Amino acid sequence: MNIRSLKWRHWMALGLIVGMVVGTIRLMWDSEEPLSGTGFITQDLFEQALHAAPVDGHPYVTDIRIRPYHGVDGIDLVSFHAFDQDANGYKEYVLAAPRPFPIRTGARREYSSAADYLKQLAATDSALRPRYAWWETTPAFLAAYALIGFIVIGVVWPLAIGLRRSSLPDPRFNLDRSHHDTAKTTPANSEDHDQLRDLDRELEEAIEHGIERPAAVALPPDKPVRQLSDVPLDQIVPEAEASKKDYAGQYYPVEKHAPHGFSLVELIVVIGIIALLTASLMPAMRLVRMNAQTARCAAQLRQIGQALHAYASANHNSLPAWSGWHTWPAGLPSDSDGPAWTIELIPYIGTPDSPVYNCPSFPLAEKYRNYFLESQWCGRSNRSSMKLSEITLPGKFVLSGDTTNMDHYVEDPRADDADPDDFGRGMLLWPWTGGIYMHHGGDNVLFDDGHVALYSRYDKYSMTFNPHRPEDHDDVTPD
């Protein structure tokens, strides 16, 4: 197909499709944006900043903007500027806000979203003025890119090609008409002149209907001009020229050996298609790799769960005991008494520095133990361990999972905690509570019944940190 033969409607449809594809690729890249790092704060600090008093006549918080996060459903990114007294100016911060949005400080209440909470505060504090970035929602985002593609490819590009084409001679009309000029200058009679005029009109109509013309037309010497319209086309063309062409109808030449090659326009389009396919494959391949890491992490957690149950079977149905802090190899003066739970599992899964304890998605290069032992209920109940028979909600009780509390990871890997447990401080923290997403879209959680699931937040209907009743980590009540 000759690209130059495409109509305006074809270019417009192509522009819409390309724009939608580019917008989808951009959304795929945005969905991999991490919810941690410089500028991200916890929800507690965010709520404190909203209620802070003005500084030197300047509002403490200003320019609040809410936009959706394309990586996980039900999360908004709230960016705002807070006054920094050290810099004597405003700095930008970001909060990953879940939907629904439970208030963590003061009177506890749950809003449908952070936008509803901010609107209520703005009713009494006009300095807040939150804005919702509706133009960054998925439908508006794709519509904007489709419009850009429509304008660039469907309007500007055909217009540029049309202007360039109009400045060049029409290759379809490459006829040797010297005999016409000679005939016109010295016509034999008025009938010859009328026949030439009719022939010119037929040629122009053929060109207007897009019918290709032969490269040259030579009149046979034995035929007068006035009989040209009655002569078949394959008799008008010399044998040397006719042997190179087949003819369909009267004016449609088909080259037997048409020249092959790319025009500049076709080459640009092909390069653009290759670049578009490459750009779409890169985020898809990255997403496949991250999903593979998530699956491998889940398999490692199942191995840890099997080792914990094997240990309990050999120790009167009791799980390993939690303790304060241990190193591996052990021996530092600050080590707690007794062995770490990872040391107690050596006969069942390997040493504490085994790769099974290292999550493949952990963002740092050092080897850490990235999984914890749930002990919040034991610690608050003044117990060092629990029995499996005490767990009445085996399908919901959190036994282990990704350690996402970044305070757990120290700079010196030699001082890495070989006994990570979550008594006193949560190990499975979400981005708005000071944690991270270990995987694309959430964190892996191991339950007592052995299954592993990916969660983007605490779900009171499917997980609990209390073996007897549904409770979040900070709300666990002792027995």
Query: Do 351 and 468 fall within a single domain?
Result: yes
Are β-strands 371-373 and 398-402 bridged in parallel, bridged antiparallel, or unpaired? antiparallel
Our count of domains for the chain comes to 3
Backbone Cα Rg of the chain: 38
pTM over cut 0.75: no
pLDDT tens for the 479 residues of the chain, in order: 556 667 778 788 888 888 888 888 888 777 777 888 888 999 999 999 998 888 877 889 989 999 988 888 889 999 999 988 777 888 999 999 999 999 877 767 889 999 999 998 888 887 788 998 888 888 888 898 889 988 888 888 777 766 655 555 554 444 444 444 444 444 445 555 666 666 667 666 666 655 555 544 444 555 444 444 555 544 554 554 555 555 544 555 555 555 556 666 667 777 777 877 777 777 778 888 999 999 999 999 999 999 999 999 999 999 999 887 777 777 677 777 778 899 999 999 999 888 999 999 987 766 678 999 999 999 999 998 999 999 999 999 999 999 998 887 765 554 567 778 888 888 999 999 989 999 988 999 999 999 999 999 999 999 999 999 999 998 999 88
Query: Do 5 and 135 fall within a single domain?
Result: yes
Query: Do 146 and 194 fall within a single domain?
Result: no
Which of 314, 313, 276 shows the shortest CA–CA distance to 153? Answer: 276
Rounded Cα gap, residues 265 and 268, in angstroms: 5
Does 255 reside within a domain?
no
Phi and psi torsions of 32, nearest 5°: -95, 10
Query: Do 360 and 450 fall within a single domain?
Result: yes
Range list of β-strands (E), 205-255: 245-248, 252-255
Does 95 reside within a domain?
yes
Query: Do 205 and 300 fall within a single domain?
Result: no
Domain boundary among 199, 232, 250: 250
Query: Do 297 and 438 fall within a single domain?
Result: yes
Q: How many CB atoms lie within 10 A of CB 194?
A: 12
Does 269 reside within a domain?
no
What pLDDT score was predicted for residue 182?
Answer: 46
What pLDDT score was predicted for residue 390?
Answer: 92
Query: Do 161 and 193 fall within a single domain?
Result: no
What pLDDT score was predicted for residue 96?
Answer: 94
Does 379 reside within a domain?
yes
Query: Do 325 and 234 fall within a single domain?
Result: no
Angle at 274 between CA 269 and CA 275, to 5 degrees: 95
What pLDDT score was predicted for residue 223?
Answer: 46
Query: Do 448 and 302 fall within a single domain?
Result: yes
Rounded Cα gap, residues 262 and 264, in angstroms: 6
Does 203 reside within a domain?
yes
What pLDDT score was predicted for residue 260?
Answer: 58
Does 277 reside within a domain?
no
Query: Do 107 and 218 fall within a single domain?
Result: no
Query: Do 84 and 223 fall within a single domain?
Result: no
Domain span including residue 129: 1-170
Query: Do 185 and 159 fall within a single domain?
Result: no
The helix/strand/coil state of 392 is coil
Residues 440/287, Cβ–Cβ less than 8 Å: yes
What pLDDT score was predicted for residue 203?
Answer: 67
141 Cβ neighbours under 8 A, 6+ residues apart: 23, 26, 27, 135
Does 280 reside within a domain?
no
The helix/strand/coil state of 459 is coil
User: Which own/partner pairs from 31-35 qualify as long-range (CB within 8 Å, at least 24 positions apart)?
Assistant: 31/70, 31/71, 31/440, 32/71, 32/283, 32/286, 32/287, 32/290, 32/440, 33/69, 33/70, 33/71, 34/436, 34/437, 35/69, 35/71, 35/75, 35/96, 35/431, 35/436, 35/437
Token pair of 148, please? 């850009």
Does 387 reside within a domain?
yes
